């Protein structure tokens, strides 16, 4: 079976109808996390009949329906359609599974409604299904690797295409067990019915008496009903006469009632007119009262307005007094301001006369400050030039000394490196030791690999032997379990019959006879319904009994020769019975019977019967089968025990070998690590040799270069010392700069004093 197409609608994240086509070859589905790749595999498993919500990553099966988002409403159903190519004359299989909220799932196969079991059986016949190993989900690879032998067997059976047969076998076994239970129940019912026949006969006689008495009772009840009817008819006539008198009295009462109603109607009309007049008077009184209320409210409003006007007149009188007082205060303030203005004008004339003197002093202070600033700037620039030249000279001298120090330190470091290279030893000796270690590691690795290959070959042989022993053990156990199950069912059936027979008096004929294999139907047909009759003397009451009689001389080929266990009471019945594979039409003497192995009977008197005694034959066959199973069980148990011992021995040896293989694998890994370590050591030795040789060459070249650089640095240091000796002393420049700074500060203070005097004069003028 090959899957061709998969259609989804409303299934998990596939809210819109989507279709996945699986073309011939390799089909891959790729995408980021959460895009729905796993939902495709779950859709295939779901349409194949998956019934576990946990396998679908949900709490309930309705969780596969699209649950909605912030922008899309949820769906009410989900549907998955799977199209497959069965490979049978290019026929195509269409499987549809649909689920609705609150309604459950429904399946259709090629347009027909089917059960979930039918869908599972279809895929099981095709060696696949919802739990097939062909559907590999996350974590399934590890589960397959760690599978037990029984689980591996299930995988192989499914790969072989016999999983459907196992399903059908299980159904058939369940039906067979149900049929066996029904047969046992039927036999119990037959026994109960035989026991109830006598009581039913007594009940039949009682029913006949009940029927006769019922007829008599019906006649008596009819007579009683007739008498009651006659009395009721007389009572009805008397009631009719009384009813006619009552009707006359009712007519008189109705006439009186009509007259009273007319009088009541006239009184009601008069009362209505009086009520209308009263209503008009009440309306007039209400209108006059309303007009009086309006006039009262207008009077109150006029009085309130008059009070408001009085309050406003009083407030205006108070405001006029306040305005007169404010006018007097303003006239006094105006006279005082005129006197102060005359005094200020006299002081301003005097200050204007002193202003030229203050302005001349301010100009002199400003000129002195500018001259001091120029002198300070010149002194600062000269001092900065001198100090800059000194700093340049000091920097050159410092750089020359630092360079000389670095060169001396580099020379010491190179000398130390040369000493360290000498102390590291000869690289050729280290390289030779690394090559010897590598050769030893390669030899050990080859030996470990050879030992491991031998152990793995033995392991494969033991695994094959273990699988063979496991298969043999499983077959033996299955056969033994089937025989034991059948034997147990037969034993329980026999015990149930024995328990049922224990409550009766004596044994029945069927429990006392045993026929040879193949002759059960013949014996059951000959005994017929008499097979359940008890053996022994006749008892009190009705019934059928085997009391026994002297057996005549048995005919040639008598059925008695094939009855291994026969009570004396039945020997006379079986002595004259011929048995054959088929009715050959032979002549029968008086009292002789002919019975076939299939259960067909022909008697000497021409009576023929066919198909009777099926239940009795089944019991006889069950007894023979129980005897045969009891004989087979010891050999089967021995075979199963031997297979189990063989499987345990192979498993134990395989476990020991597995430990050895693990140890060998660890030794091989250690040898491989040792080989890699030796190769790394060899590489390191070769690299160290090349590095030391290159380093020595570099040190030789660096030594000559350092000597040349050291001479140059020494010449640069001497030139820097000579240039610094030619520069003037910066202390003299710093003294001159301090004097210029003092003159500048004095000029600034004079300017500030003149400025403050001028500001005070201007403020006074203002």
Average pLDDT over residues 49-70: 81
DSSP class of 751? H
Lowest mean pLDDT among 86-90, 507-511, 590-594, 624-628: 86-90
Say yes or no to pLDDT of 729 above 80. no
Nearest residue to 762 via CA among 444, 399, 360, 351 = 351
DSSP class of 532? G
Neighbours of 575 (CB within 10 A): 19
Q: pLDDT digit string (tens) for 601-651? A: 898 888 888 877 777 778 788 888 888 888 888 888 888 888 888 888 888
Q: Which residue has the higher pLDDT, 100 or 164?
A: 100
The two structure tokens encoding residue 154: 């299930």
DSSP alpha helix (H) spans, 580-613: none
Helix (H, G, I), strand (E, B) or coil at 236: helix
Which range has the top average pLDDT, 92-96, 329-333, 336-340, 409-413? Answer: 92-96
* Residue 614: predicted pLDDT: 76
Average pLDDT over residues 408-426: 71
What percent of the chain stands above pLDDT 90? 0
Band (81; pLDDT cuts 50, 70, 90): very high
DSSP string, 178-227: HHHHHHHHHHHHHHHHHHHHHHHHHHHHHHHHHHHHHHHHHHHHHHHHHH
Q: Which residue has the higher pLDDT, 421 or 622?
A: 622
Q: Which residue has the higher pLDDT, 422 or 590?
A: 590
Contacts of 454 (CB under 8 A, 6+ apart): none
Structural contact between residues 27 and 33, judged by C-beta atoms closer than 8 angstroms? no
Contacts of 401 (CB under 8 A, 6+ apart): 717
Q: Name the CATH topology of 2-130.
A: Rossmann fold (3.40.50)
Average pLDDT over residues 579-590: 87
* Residue 319: predicted pLDDT: 66
Helix (H, G, I), strand (E, B) or coil at 597: coil
* Residue 728: predicted pLDDT: 67
Lowest mean pLDDT among 143-147, 386-390, 596-600: 143-147
Band (156; pLDDT cuts 50, 70, 90): low
Average per-residue pLDDT for the chain? 77
CA distance 337 to 622: 150
Say yes or no to pLDDT of 163 above 60. no
* Residue 555: predicted pLDDT: 84
Using CA atoms, how far residue 139 sits from 36, 133, 144, 158, 487, in Å, is: 18, 12, 9, 20, 43
Average pLDDT over residues 554-574: 83
Nearest residue to 622 via CA among 190, 187, 169 = 187
What percent of the chain stands above pLDDT 70? 79
Say yes or no to pLDDT of 415 above 80. no
DSSP class of 75? P
Nearest residue to 680 via CA among 437, 424, 448 = 437
Structural contact between residues 703 and 428, judged by C-beta atoms closer than 8 angstroms? no
* Residue 370: predicted pLDDT: 74
* Residue 109: predicted pLDDT: 87
Say yes or no to pLDDT of 269 above 60. yes
Band (207; pLDDT cuts 50, 70, 90): confident
Average pLDDT over residues 45-67: 81
User: Exposed/middle/buried for 107, CB within 10 Å: 0-12, 13-18, 19+?
Assistant: buried
Adjacent-strand bridge partners of 113: 108
Q: Which residue has the higher pLDDT, 93 or 712?
A: 93
Band (136; pLDDT cuts 50, 70, 90): low
Domain boundaries, the chain: 2-130, 496-536+549-644
Say yes or no to pLDDT of 53 above 70. yes
Q: Which residue has the higher pLDDT, 345 or 19?
A: 19
Nearest residue to 567 via CA among 514, 516, 529 = 514
Average pLDDT over residues 119-140: 68
The two structure tokens encoding residue 237: 């006539």
Say yes or no to pLDDT of 187 above 60. yes
Say yes or no to pLDDT of 446 above 80. yes
Q: Which residue has the higher pLDDT, 3 or 353?
A: 3
Average pLDDT over residues 688-714: 75
Say yes or no to pLDDT of 587 above 60. yes
* Residue 352: predicted pLDDT: 65
Say yes or no to pLDDT of 166 above 80. no
* Residue 347: predicted pLDDT: 61
Phi-psi domain of 611 (left: phi exceeds 0; alpha: psi -120 through 50; beta: other): left
Say yes or no to pLDDT of 326 above 80. no
Contacts of 38 (CB under 8 A, 6+ apart): 137, 138
Q: pLDDT digit string (tens) for 508-526? A: 777 778 888 888 888 888 8
* Residue 29: predicted pLDDT: 84
Whether the pTM exceeds 0.85: the reply is no
DSSP class of 13? T
Say yes or no to pLDDT of 766 above 70. no
């Amino acid at each position: 079976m090959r899957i061709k197409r998969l259609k989804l609608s409303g299934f998990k994240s596939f809210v819109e109808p989507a279709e996945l086509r699986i073309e011939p070859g390799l089909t891959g589905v790729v995408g980021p996390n959460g895009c729905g790749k796993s939902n495709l595999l779950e859709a295939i498993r779901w349409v194949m009949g998956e019934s576990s919500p946990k396998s679908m990553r949900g709490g309930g099966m309705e969780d596969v329906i699209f649950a909605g988002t912030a922008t899309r409403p949820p769906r009410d159903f989900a549907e998955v359609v799977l199209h497959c190519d069965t490979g049978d004359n290019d026929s195509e299989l269409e499987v549809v599974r649909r689920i609705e909220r609150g309604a459950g799932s429904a399946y259709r196969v090629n347009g027909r409604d089917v059960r979930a079991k039918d869908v599972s059986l279809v895929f099981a016949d095709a060696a696949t299904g919802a739990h097939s190993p062909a559907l590999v989900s996350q974590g399934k690879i590890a589960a397959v690797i760690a599978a037990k032998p029984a689980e591996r067997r299930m995988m192989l059976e499914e790969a072989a295409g016999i999983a459907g047969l196992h399903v059908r076998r299980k159904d058939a076994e369940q039906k067979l067990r149900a049929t066996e239970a029904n047969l046992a129940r039927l036999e119990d019912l037959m026994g109960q019915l035989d026991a109830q026949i006598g009581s039913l006969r007594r009940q039949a006689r009682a029913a006949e008496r009940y029927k006769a008495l019922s007829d008599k009772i019906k006649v008596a009840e009819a007579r009683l009903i007739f008498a009651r009817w006659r009395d009721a008819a007389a009572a009805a006539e008397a009631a009719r006469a009384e009813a006619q008198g009552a009707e006359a009295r009712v007519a008189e009462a109705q006439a009186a009632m009509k007259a009273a109603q007319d009088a009541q109607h006239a009184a009601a009309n008069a009362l209505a007119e009086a009520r209308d007049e009263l209503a008009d008077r009440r309306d007039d009184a209400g209108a006059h009262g309303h007009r009086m209320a309006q006039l009262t409210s207008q009077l109150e409003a006029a009085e309130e307005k008059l009070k408001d006007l009085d309050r406003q007149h009083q407030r205006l009188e108070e405001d006029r007094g306040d305005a007169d007082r404010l006018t007097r205060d303003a006239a006094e303030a105006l006279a005082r301001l005129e006197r102060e203005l005359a005094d200020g004008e006299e002081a301003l004339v005097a200050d204007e006369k002193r202003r030229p003197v203050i302005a001349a002093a301010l100009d002199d202070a400003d000129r002195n400050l500018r001259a001091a600033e120029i002198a300070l700037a010149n002194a600062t620039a000269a001092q900065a030039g001198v100090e800059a030249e000194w700093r340049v000279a000091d920097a050159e001298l410092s750089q020359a000394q630092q360079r000389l120090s670095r060169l001396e330190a580099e020379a010491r470091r190179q000398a130390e490196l040369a000493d360290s290279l000498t102390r590291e030893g000869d690289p050729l000796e280290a390289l030779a030791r690394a090559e010897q270690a590598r050769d030893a590691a390669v030899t050990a690795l080859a030996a470990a690999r050879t030992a491991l290959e031998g152990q793995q070959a033995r392991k494969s042989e033991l695994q094959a032997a273990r699988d063979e022993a496991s298969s043999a053990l499983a077959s033996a156990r299955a056969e033994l379990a089937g025989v034991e199950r059948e034997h147990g069912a037969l034993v329980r059936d026999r015990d149930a019959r024995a328990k049922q027979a224990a409550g009766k008096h004596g044994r029945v004929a069927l429990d006392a006879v045993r026929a040879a294999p193949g002759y059960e139907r013949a014996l059951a047909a000959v005994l017929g319904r008499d097979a359940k009759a008890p053996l022994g003397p006749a008892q009190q009451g009705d019934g059928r009994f085997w009391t026994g009689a002297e057996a005549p001389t048995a005919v040639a080929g008598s059925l008695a020769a094939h009855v291994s266990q026969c009570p004396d009471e039945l020997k006379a019945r079986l002595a004259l019975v011929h048995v054959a594979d088929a009715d050959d039409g032979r002549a029968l003497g008086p009292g002789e019977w002919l019975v076939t192995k299939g259960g067909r009977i022909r008697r000497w008197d021409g009576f023929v019967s066919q198909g009777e005694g099926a239940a009795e034959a089944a019991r006889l066959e069950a007894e023979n089968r129980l005897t045969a199973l009891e004989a087979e069980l010891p050999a089967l148990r021995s075979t199963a025990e031997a297979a189990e011992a063989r499987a345990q021995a192979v498993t134990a040896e395989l476990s020991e070998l597995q430990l050895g293989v693990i140890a060998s694998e660890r030794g091989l890994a250690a040898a491989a690590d040792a080989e890699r370590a030796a190769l790394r050591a060899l590489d390191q030795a070769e690299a160290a040799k090349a590095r030391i040789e290159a380093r020595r060459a570099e040190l030789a070249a660096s030594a000559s270069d350092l000597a040349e650089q050291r001479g140059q640095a020494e010449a640069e240091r001497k030139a820097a010392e000579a240039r610094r000796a030619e520069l003037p002393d910066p202390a003299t420049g710093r003294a001159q700069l301090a004097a210029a700074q003092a003159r500048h500060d004095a000029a600034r203070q004079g300017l500030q004093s003149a400025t403050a005097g001028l500001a005070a004069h201007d403020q006074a003028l203002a």
